[in-house]
Amino acid sequence: MQLSVFSVVDAYPPGPEYSARHRYSEVLSLAEAAERSGLSTVWVAEHHFLPTGLCPSPPVLLAAIGARTRRVRLGSLVSVLPFHAPIEIAEQYALLDHLVGGRLNLGVGSGYIPAEFSGFGIDPREKRERFDRALDTILAAFRGEEVRTERTLSTPVRLNVVPRQQPHPPIWVAAQRREALPHIARKGLSLALIPYATVGDLSELAAEIREYRAALPSGADATVSAAVHVYAGPSPDRARLAFQRYLDSRLANQSTFFQQKVEAHPDSASAESLEEHGLALLGGLNQVEEGAQALSDAGVDELLGIFDFGGLSLSDSVGSIRRLATRVH
């Protein structure tokens, strides 16, 4: 199983007194630690209007990371397609793939936070249709084909810069609804999951992964990545407090799927409960290594370690990366 870094770039404590510049500096340091430790990929999330995610433009942050690294791959998790014109997404990520030397992984999704849909004036009921249409357009544009979009209906356009990786960079689709898994699989695309927000335990996660793989076309080169909060070190209680702060912030911002899970199973709001069910890895190195192996046994190909969360210190986050890198990948 590969080990990667995934940063949501959440701010703690939230509010105008928090320095966004400091948070970005932390993410750059995490990326440098991932590079030195031989990790697979550095992923960053896209969020808008809320302090629980301070990266509204992954291509900008990934370009900065790319300038400080040479080997580690760089990914968006995700580019929220309903919020943007697909031709602009295609242009931005094609350019980014060149700037980082063909190291781009492109994760895409349809969004799940009501405040973001409201801020962009988009009806959430339209997100699936908008996502499917945008993804088809982006992939065609990456291949160098002429495309029409809502902004170019009268005149088809063709990218003047296509990605360095052809026919396109590797694509992941983030899914939080089980019924979406066969749809993603039939496209032959890789899958990104957020288990703490959607499943009850590792057996349910394994069942979802089996369902996805059963629907893949024969010979498809697709993988499963799972985002899990990780702390491997001598002070797990400090990490548990940070994880609880993170969970509380998700509920406060009405993170749709996590909120629905908590409404059905109130104990899911507890950091302790999620850790007990294998959906967070917080403890000593041996304990975390065992948890990572359980995720691998469930079918996970890439552990997307959320090492920086809920105000956990940079030294704690980097220390976890360094310790775990010697044992997991």
Q: Is the dihedral of CA 168, 170, 173, 178 positive or negative?
A: positive
Task: Provide the CATH number for the domain around residue 94.
Answer: 3.20.20.30
Q: Which are the contacts of 284, defined by CB distance < 8 A and separation ≥ 6?
A: 232, 233, 234, 236
292-309 confidence digits (pLDDT tens):
999 999 999 999 999 999
Q: Which domain holds residue 8?
A: 2-325
pLDDT at position 152, please?
60
Number of structural domains (the chain) is: 1
pTM comes to 0.96
Q: Is the pLDDT of residue 16 over 60?
A: no
Whether the pLDDT of residue 212 is over 90: the answer is yes
Mean pLDDT within 3-13? 92
User: Residue 153 — pLDDT band, cuts 50, 70, 90?
Assistant: low
Q: What is the pLDDT of residue 254?
A: 81
Query: Does residue 329 carry a pLDDT above 70?
Result: no
pLDDT score for 155: 85
For the chain, give the mean pLDDT: 95
Residue type, 105: N
Segment 172-185 mean pLDDT: 96
Residues 6 or more apart from 164 whose CB is under 8 A from it? 97, 98, 101, 102
Distance CA 270, CA 254 (A): 16
